[in-house]
Amino acid sequence: MKTIDELLSEGVAGKRVFVRADLNVPLDGTTITDDGRIRAVLPTVKALAEAGARVVVASHLGRPKGAPDPVFSLAPAAARLGELLGADVAFATDTVGESAEATVAGLADGRVAVVENLRFNAGETSKDDAERAAFADRLAALADVYVSDGFGAVHRKHASVYDLPARLPHYAGYLIANEVGVLKKLTDDVKRPYVVALGGAKVSDKLAVIDQLLGKADRILIGGGMAYTFLKAKGYEVGKSLLQEDQVPAVQEYIERAEKTGVELVLPVDALVATEFPDLKTKAPANPTTVAADAIPADQEGLDIGPETRKLYASKLADAATVFWNGPMGVFEHPDYAEGTKAVAQALIESPGFTVVGGGDSAAAVRTLGFDESAFGHISTGGGASLEYLEGKTLPGLAALED
């Protein structure tokens, strides 16, 4: 795929450059609670603007139903992008209508505009090829060149990700190029020991990647809500813990495969439990208790890995040459259940190897818990995209950039 450096060498002054970014930031009303994804696209936007391009930034935010919804407006993201750039950023109140056309037409060389949420248009996410194509045609009319820099969306076959590149000269932005380079280090020429830490709520979200990793990783550490399905598969009582009963047979098969192939599959040995889920708004003390992983009371639910598991997982990460972490170890949003996730993050920082935080909730946890992002080898902006890449799937947004 061609990269932005090639585009810049060709010259972009005066050209309208459509940048498909990922500005899907978490919001509390109109307040952005984590601007990591906006900061991630800054190098690409800055480079294009400084080279004299007329930069048109587009993104989705949330899951509106194909129609405008003020709750999912990109206006706060556009304002924050302007603050980070130190320059005014124009904002179009639609995506391909009168406001977008006028806003783009009014851009001077070196200036930046953001158009409204792409998903306010049904054609963006449509499964109908013709409907997506029609929307992509309207987007293409706003630009001369396409730059893909929204890694968090490249696993989606959406109009702005998959169909639009076919209509314009297309290039990968700095973020996309960097993400792909990192993921190749996790798949093509992996330095060992290769240790993977997986957490998060649902084991069903991770089964496909576990299937692939059982043939590639040396160790897989399991935490988060998904751990209780693994513990159930071992025959343990898990009480009221998050459980996907229908996935137990598949998990049992993976446990057996790990034993046969020599992959070390490491499960929690203890857990923090409580009778009810904590209040994440008030952060009221939850007063959890610690129990062995095979002794969770029937009226309790596991909400974080316990202190012995934290020590165990840190020891399993200590000698890693390559680490991939995706998914928190517990309900890190509450201080009483954040220690497991903190322990894994700290172990990555202390690891001598190349460490990758696989986007999504893990990246949010790193920032929320106050860790220095530069202490990690790489923090991905796309959890789902990273997992699908590791699963060996073809990502539509990357395939569209190939010539």
The answer to whether the beta carbons of residues 254 and 214 sit under 8 Å apart is yes
Task: Check pLDDT > 90 for residue 205.
Answer: no
Is 384 annotated as catalytic?
A: yes
Are β-strands 170-172 and 194-198 bridged in parallel, bridged antiparallel, or unpaired?
unpaired
Distance CA 102, CA 105 (A): 5
The answer to whether the beta carbons of residues 263 and 220 sit under 8 Å apart is yes
Mean pLDDT, residues 340-346 = 97
CB burial of residue 204 (10 Å; 0-12, 13-18, 19+): middle
pLDDT at 229: 97
Task: Find the helix or strand (DSSP H, E) in which 89 lies.
Answer: strand 89-91
> Which SS3 state, helix, strand or coil, does residue 258 take?
helix
| pLDDT band at residue 14 using 50, 70 and 90 as cut-offs | very high
Q: In sequence order, which residues have a C-beta less than 8 Å from that of residue 84 and are 6 or more positions away?
A: 35, 38, 39, 42
Mean pLDDT, residues 373-387 = 90
Which percentage of the chain shows pLDDT scores above 70?
100
**Catalytic residue (one of 202, 311, 367, 393):** 202
The answer to whether the beta carbons of residues 173 and 148 sit under 8 Å apart is yes
The answer to whether the beta carbons of residues 356 and 389 sit under 8 Å apart is no
pLDDT at 399: 97
Task: Check pLDDT > 80 for residue 360.
Answer: no
**Catalytic residue (one of 15, 16, 20, 37):** 37
Is 316 annotated as catalytic?
A: no
Task: Check pLDDT > 80 for residue 167.
Answer: yes
Give the residue among 387, 329, 360 at the shortest CA–CA distance from 201: 329
**Catalytic residue (one of 239, 360, 382, 383):** 360
The answer to whether the beta carbons of residues 351 and 357 sit under 8 Å apart is no
**Catalytic residue (one of 306, 358, 359, 384):** 384
Q: In sequence order, which residues have a C-beta less than 8 Å from that of residue 402 and are 6 or more positions away?
A: 1
Mean pLDDT, residues 225-241 = 96
Q: In sequence order, which residues have a C-beta less than 8 Å from that of residue 260 and are 6 or more positions away?
A: none
Give per-residue pLDDT as tens, 28-77: 999 998 898 999 999 999 999 999 999 999 999 999 999 999 999 999 99
Is 110 annotated as catalytic?
A: no
pLDDT at 97: 96
What six digits make up the tokens of 296?
């969770």
Q: Give the DSSP per-residue string, 93-138.
A: SSSSSHHHHHHHHTPPTT-EEE---GGGSHHHH-S-HHHHHHHHHH
Task: Check pLDDT > 80 for residue 359.
Answer: no
Give per-residue pLDDT as tens, 124-133: 999 999 999 9
Is 80 annotated as catalytic?
A: no
The answer to whether the beta carbons of residues 158 and 152 sit under 8 Å apart is no
Give strand pairing partners of 58: 20
Q: What's the residue count for the chain?
A: 403
Global pTM reads 0.89
> Which SS3 state, helix, strand or coil, does residue 160 take?
helix
